[in-house]
Amino acid sequence: MPDAPRPTTDTRVWIKALDHDELADGRVKTVTCENYTLCMTRVGDAFGALDNRCPHQGGPLGEGSIEKGLLRCPWHGWDYDPLTGKAPGYDDGVETFPVEVRADGIYVGFPEEQERERTVCDVFAETLTNWGVQWVFGMVGHSNLGLADAFRVLEGAGRLRYIGIRHEGAASFAVSAYGKLTGRAAACFSIAGPGATNLLTGLWDANVDRAPALALTGQVDVQVLGRGAFQEIDLVAAYGRVAQWGHALLHTSNPAEMANLACKNALLNRGVSHVVFPDEVQALPADGRSAGGPDGRVAAPGITPPAEVLAEAVERLRTAERPVVIVGHGARYDMEAITALAETLGCPVLTTFKGKGQIPDTHPLGCGVLGRSGTPVASHFMNESDLLLVLGASFSNHTGITPKKPTIQVDFERIALGRTFAVDVPVWGEIGVTVGLLRNALEHARGEGTLAARDARGEIAERWAIWRREKERRHGETRGRGVAAAPLFAALSEAADPDAIVCVDVGNNAYSLGRYFETRGQTFLMSGYLGSIGFALPAALGAWAATQEDDPRFAGRQVISVSGDGGLAQYMAEFTTAVKYGMDLTHVLLHDDELGKISKEQRAGFWDVWQTSLVNPSFADFATSCGGLGITVRDTAELALAFEQALAHPGPALVEVFTDSKLL
């Protein structure tokens, strides 16, 4: 039934709150009328409408009861008159609203809605968007509502998008993956206490892999800090070294400058910036303050290396007969220039695992991944080289770059040069700038006939042929206990778009993907130095976000995540997040009922295999029950069709492949 006409005798807005028979005599009820939450009461034939929030501790009065004629707060037992809101014997009370009993129900009168007042959180959030922040992943809760409302306004204006996740750890992993992929910062968002601590693992992932990230956490009121209030944690201390920059937004803070510094530090230091928002500060008025932005705050990134160092690098490359280029994740934005340099030299290009796919395996100079997750093609050429040119790599022990070969290392961070062991020529310079200068000099040497490097294309093709024959033999291996890794990743490699973004978990699935997935231009994201299980699916949320932007590097690209059953179980509820926001992504699950990598390590260390078995649901049925597509694969012959169907599905899909953990 439509609301009755509003009276014209005053400026109140009248809204129907109850039907006549909805509330019995002596009872109370919580009722929401637009933006107002009321405690509706009834005493005889009289109705009361009180603000639902107790003025002392914020207790929900609508969850209380009328005892001996008085409304009792359910939190601390304070009494109020259920109709007038007055506290007997005291001057304070609860705000009340006028009530009218009409023919069709009980109506409550509210003041005309006032224009929303701009707050310090609006200034802060607007500044983030001015710096290019487009996404917030998080969970709205009681100690971050002011900042959440600022995000709501910006989302309504089309300046920001918000993804509500199911666990804060997924939010920080999504933000870390987004930063690794784009080089830009997104924000993860939580309440105080457990919400903020849940963010820490994903933020450590961003920290150690040098991904820009913003962490925005609620906090208890300033006035109760240090008193052990509910959900109070010393967040600055808790975030310790995970945040390379962190501060609290206080009553006297400049919100625009706080946001400027958070964004600048996250982007330029490629790490985590953390801002704490005490609850009551979030509602402070903006008082006419303007938002900030990056203009005049960030210099051009190009760093040209010193001439004498560049000359030494050129001379070593000019005279090397078997040089090899090794690229890491830090070189991901400069691969066009790097590939051109390698083509000038005719030399092999190897990647770290984090750099997988930066040069396709189909390129005549591409040799795949070096190290524990790599190919024998890559290790052969490092072993046979007489000079290594290492670009944007961290020299991880998993990569195994040998210290026994003459090495030129180029990096835009001085601290990264020679960090693991001394190198022969450390070159401080922006990778793209430096590689361009090296190529110009070497092209000149080639024109003069003084370039010593031998073209390795024929040898690379020969080595790939040897490795592919070996992989083909492994395709036929079976113990009757599940699909082997080699045919699984061969089928996925064939099915995935050449520019797909693939998010990889840790464990046997990652080692096998690094070894068997032949890249044709795909981009790979992983939890590199932290090696955190559970990374893949939340990372796919962050990668999907990047594909929704106007950035031509990522717009519209296919998103795939790969994990074992142990990894997916950690954040499997985020499949519902993907369904809620219509994310077109495919998760490939290797189901072996085991923490297979750990079992392997126990055997290798002569330990008994212990406590690595898993009890699992049907993950495909789970995906279907969430509203996505679930497909089960038990035989190698089913892989191609399953991947085709999942990747064509216009929404979240999961392919559950029953695998043999010993056929890696």
143-155 pLDDT tens trace: 999 999 999 999 9
Q: Is the pLDDT of residue 6 over 80?
A: no
Measured CA to CA in angstroms, residue 250 lies from 57, 85, 243, 246, 266 at distances of: 22, 33, 18, 13, 21
Is the pLDDT score of 553 beyond 80? Answer: yes
How large is the average pLDDT for residues 247-270? 96
Greater model confidence, 255 or 600: 255
Mean pLDDT confidence for 176-192: 97
Dist CA 434 CA 304 (whole Å): 6
User: What element of type H or E holds 205?
Assistant: helix 200-208
Over range 516-534, report the average pLDDT: 94
Nearest to 70 by CA among 28, 37, 21: 28
Query: Would residue 3 be called left, alpha or beta, if left means φ above 0 and alpha means ψ between -120 and 50 degrees?
Result: beta
Q: What residues contact residue 499 under an 8 Å CB cut-off, 6+ apart?
A: 521, 522, 523, 557, 558
The predicted-structure confidence for 582-620, as pLDDT tens digits, reads as follows: 999 999 999 999 988 898 888 999 999 999 999 999 999
What CA–CA distance (Å, rounded) separates 553 from 74? 55
pTM of the model: 0.90
pLDDT of residue 480: 77
Give residue 630's pLDDT band: very low, low, confident or very high (50, 70, 90). very high
User: Which CATH architecture does the domain made up of 120-283 adopt?
Assistant: 3-Layer(aba) Sandwich (3.40)
- Residue 316: is its pLDDT beyond 60? yes
Helix/strand/coil percentages in the chain, nearest 5: 35, 20, 45
pLDDT score for 1 = 33
Domains 120-283 and 309-459 share a fold: yes
Q: Give the pLDDT band (50/70/90) at residue 547.
A: very high
CA 419-422-426 angle, 5° bins:
80
Q: Given this model, what pLDDT does residue 253 score?
A: 94
Residue 285 pairs with which residues in a beta bridge? 119
Q: What is the pLDDT of residue 223?
A: 65
Q: What is the mean pLDDT of residues 163-191?
A: 97
Question: What integer is the mean pLDDT of 23-40?
Answer: 95
CA distance 572 to 534: 9
Which H or E element spans position 594? none
* Res 226: pLDDT: 64
Digit-coded pLDDT (tens) for 440-452? 999 999 999 999 9
Instruction: Specify the pLDDT at position 529.
Output: 86
**What was the pLDDT predicted at 372?**
86
pLDDT of residue 2: 36
Average pLDDT over residues 65-92: 93
- Starting at the edge strand found earlier in the chain, the sheet holding 13-18 runs 13-18, 105-110, 99-102
Residue 562: helix, strand or coil by DSSP?
strand
- The DSSP secondary structure of 435-467, one letter per residue, reads HHHHHHHHHHHHHHT---PPP-HHHHHHHHHHH
Class of 309-459 per CATH?
A: alpha beta
The predicted structure's pLDDT at residue 563: 97
For the chain, what is the mean pLDDT? Answer: 93
- Residue 454 reports pLDDT greater than 60: yes
For the chain, the domains span: 13-110, 120-283, 309-459, 476-658
Least confident residue range of 419-433, 556-570, 592-606? 592-606
| Rounded distance between C-alpha atoms, residue 572 and residue 594, angstroms | 17
SS (H, E, C) 284-353: CECCCCCCCCCCCCCCCCCCCCCHHHHHHHHHHHHHCCCEEEEECHHHHHHHHHHHHHHHHHCCCEEECC
pLDDT at 365 exceeding the cut of 80: yes
Q: The domain at 13-110 falls in which architecture?
A: 3-layer Sandwich (2.102)
pLDDT of 9 > 50? The answer is no
Instruction: Provide the 8-state DSSP code for 243.
Output: -
pLDDT (average), residues 234-250: 89
Res 661: pLDDT = 81
Residue 185's alpha-carbon distances to 135, 216, 235, 505, in angstroms, are 9, 12, 21, 22
Strand pairing category for 70-72 and 79-80: antiparallel
Sequence-separated (6 or more) residues with CB below 8 Å from residue 356: 368, 369, 373, 514, 517, 519, 524
Q: Range with the lowest mean pLDDT among 299-303, 454-458, 519-523?
A: 299-303
Q: Which residues contact 597 (CB under 8 A, 6 or more apart)?
A: 506, 507, 508, 511, 564
Higher per-residue pLDDT: 650 or 475: 650
- Extract the runs of DSSP E, i.e. beta strands, from 468-596: 501-504, 523-526, 559-564, 585-591
pLDDT of residue 232: 67
Q: In the structure, what pLDDT confidence band is assigned to residue 58 with cuts at 50, 70 and 90?
A: confident
CA distances from 559 to 23, 53, 367, 538, 539 (A): 52, 45, 24, 12, 10
Asked if residue 82 has pLDDT above 80, the reply is yes
Question: Strand 425-428 and strand 407-411: pairing?
Answer: parallel
Confidence of residue 3 (pLDDT cuts 50, 70, 90): very low
Across 461-487, average pLDDT: 90
Q: Within 10 A of 643 (CB to CB), how many other CB atoms are there?
A: 25
Q: Do 568 and 507 meet the contact criterion of CB atoms below 8 Å apart?
A: no
pLDDT at position 4, please?
Answer: 40
∠ CA 197-198-201, nearest 5°, is: 95
Cα pseudo-dihedral 370, 509, 501, 362, rounded to 10: 40
Retrieve residue 492's tokens.
Answer: 């996925």
Quick one: tokens of 570? 């950690």
Backbone angles phi, psi at 391, to 5 degrees: -125, 115
Among 473-482, 533-542, 547-556, the minimum mean pLDDT is found in: 473-482
What 3-state class would DSSP assign to 585?
Answer: strand
What fold characterizes domain 476-658? Rossmann fold (3.40.50)
pLDDT at residue number 647: 98
